[in-house]
Structure 1
Amino acid sequence: MSKDQQFRLPGYQQYSVPKGPNSHGSMILVRATIPSSEVEPVHSGDGVEAQAIRIHLANDSLVVYNIYKLPTKRLEAGELLSQATQELVLIAGDFNAHHPTMNSTTRMNLDGRHLVELLTDVPEITLINTGEPTHILGGTLDLTFISTELVPVAQWEVDDEPVTTLQRQLL
């Protein structure tokens, strides 16, 4: 969304990064009854768009990341995924990363290899995608990682209805 466009969803707190010369724009919506605040995201690579919020829970907090990486940029996700060693995290976005572990129908690229190596090196983080395509033409561009201790209570699915792009909505 550009700066002139306004999007409001009643009952939700909106955290957004406007579309601009160096940003495709992004948004995280949190139900208004859930305490939350914006936080500075860790560096994920030059030109990689990252947005982060903290959801304040009764006895803990959860940091939610929204990531977009252009295919031409390099992902540096070591610090990002290592956040799971310090706090509860949910990291989701379009990583433009390809590896058979994430999508058996694609060839591997450097970013895909990088993420798979990090999953081995950082056992506190888990990829929860089910293998179901997240793009209507097939392929898994959108990935969701969570703190490993959250896996027993996590659910991941793809909504079959496209929103406004060729990608499908993750629920």
Structure 2
Amino acid sequence: MSKDKQFRLPGYQQYSAAERPNSHGSMILLRATIPRSEVEPVHCGDGVEAQAVRIHLANDSLVVYIIYKPPTKRLEAGELLTQATQELVLIAGDFNAHHPTINPTTTMNQDGHHLVELLTDVSEKTLINTGEPTHILRGALDFTFVSTELVPVAQWEVDGELTSDHFATTTTLRMELLPPPPRPPPR
């Protein structure tokens, strides 16, 4: 699809950087019936594309991020991943990061080292990939991180049919299974 064509899916609200110069076409699609508000994404590095949407839940909210980091750009994900210490977050995207810890079939690059350091330092964030390749050349470049408290209600899978040079991934969060937030102490 050329960049001058608008992608539309009836019944869904689209959030994308397609109208920005040098955009790579990443987008978030949410059902139109889901209460939400657009969020100004944190800076993830010069030339790194990021979109964010806050989904309003019954007792909380969830911030959904989509990231595309071109191979020639540097990732600055510290602020992004530490956001999980303050609120529920799902972060997905093509990070072009390589490290044996997150992809056993690859050698390390600077962005992979940066991500693994952050995962070690920020225990409130968990990588939920299963280890399945997300790229047709068998590598894992696409990662999905969630706030650690969401891990029990998260399911991640690769769709082997929806593909370009990357396979589509699906993340399902069964929020109804999440225990309610703790009550404040009595006054």
TM-score band w.r.t. shorter chain:
over 0.9
Q: Which residue of 2 aligns with 1:168?
A: 167
Q: Secondary structure at the match of 2:156?
A: coil
Q: Deviations over 1:26-81 (max 9, x none)?
A: 21000111111111000111111111011110110000000000111110100000
Equivalent-residue separation in structure 1 for 2:25 and 2:19 (angstroms): 4
Moved over 6 A (4+): none
Contact kept? 2:17, 2:49, Cα under 8 Å: no
Equivalent-residue separation in structure 2 for 1:31 and 1:162 (angstroms): 19
User: RMSD between aligned alpha carbons?
Assistant: 1.3
Contact kept? 2:3, 2:25, Cα under 8 Å: no
Question: Taking structure 2 as the reference length, what is the TM-score of the superposition?
Answer: 0.87
Residue 2 of structure 1: how far off its partner (Å):
5.8
Mean alpha-carbon deviation: is it higher for 6-15 or for 82-91?
6-15
Residue 21 of structure 1: how far off its partner (Å):
3.7
The alignment of Structure 1 onto Structure 2 pairs a total of residues equal to 170
Structure 2 residue identity aligned to 1:78? G
1:8 aligns with 2:2: no
Equivalent-residue separation in structure 2 for 1:3 and 1:57 (angstroms): 33
Equivalent-residue separation in structure 2 for 1:20 and 1:65 (angstroms): 17
Q: Give 5+ residue unaligned stretches, structure 1.
A: none
Which structure: larger Rg? 2
Q: Give 5+ residue unaligned stretches, structure 2.
A: 171-187
Equivalent-residue separation in structure 1 for 2:90 and 2:132 (angstroms): 19
Report matched runs for 1:2-81 at 5 Å: 4-18=4-18, 20-81=20-81
Residue 3 of structure 1: how far off its partner (Å):
6.0
Equivalent-residue separation in structure 2 for 1:129 and 1:49 (angstroms): 21
Q: Which residue of 1 aligns with 2:129?
A: 129
Percentage identity across paired residues of the two chains: 81
Structure 2 residue identity aligned to 1:92? A
Structure 1 residue identity aligned to 2:168? Q
